[in-house]
Amino acid sequence: METSDIQRALSGLDNTASNIVGQISSTTDRISYLLEQADQYASEASHYMSMASGEEDAERAMSLMASADDCLGRASDCRDDANALSEQIQELKSQLRGLIGQYEYYKSEGETKIAELSTLVSKLTGMSGAKYGAGQIKSTLSQAKDRLIFNQRLVSGCTDRINWINNTCGASGGQNVKTLRRR
């Protein structure tokens, strides 16, 4: 696989990862909002129950308890919704973790290129003192070194992304790992 193909594939993979992380972030924000709402409803229910306990009018006390029960139901609904969204986050993390196999594949491709380029650089370095064609050899050597450095950066970037995904997903991110095979 050519370096430019690896770079293009990594760009697409990075976009996919970015979209998943955006979904995780917005879902996390929604969960926080729902839990805050649940706490507010629970506090309101507590307030109604406190008022009902001091109420002498039985009808008014029943009305306050009904309001408290309604608030507790809303709080429960918010918590249930937050739990459902938490499950969605785990699914998203599993999808994100699934990208690791692809990053590992492109990392492997980059490492193969590094090995090939290292061999080429060694050979060209040995020939750089040649009497004929030295200018062309030096130019090719310079290009090979540049490509070597670029591939080293690609491999390092893949390693960084894999580590970042592992840190983002934690231990509960799922094990759905899709691995590409070399041809």
Domain boundaries, the chain: 3-172
CB 124 within 8 A of CB 140: yes
Mean pLDDT of 99-114: 95
pLDDT at 17 over 60: yes
Tell me the pLDDT of the chain averaged across its residues: 89
- For residue 177, the SS3 value is coil
Distance between the two ends of the chain, CA-based, in angstroms?
9
- Percent with pLDDT over 90 in the chain: 75
Give the burial string for 27-52 (b: 16+ CB within 10 Å, else e).
beeebeebbebbeebbebbeebbebb
pLDDT at 142 over 50: yes
pLDDT at 2 over 50: yes
CB 100 within 8 A of CB 165: yes
Distance CA 100, CA 114 (A): 21
Q: Which of 21-30, 86-95, 122-131, 156-165 has the lowest mean pLDDT?
A: 122-131
pLDDT of residue 131: 62
pLDDT at 173 over 70: no
User: The pTM is what?
Assistant: 0.77
Architecture label for domain 3-172: Up-down Bundle (1.20)
pLDDT at 27 over 80: yes
Distance CA 53, CA 172 (A): 44
Mean pLDDT of 106-129: 88
CB 173 within 8 A of CB 93: yes
pLDDT of residue 171: 56
> With bands split at pLDDT 50, 70 and 90, how would you rate the model's confidence at 156?
very high
pLDDT at 105 over 80: yes
pLDDT at 10 over 60: yes
Distance CA 103, CA 159 (A): 8
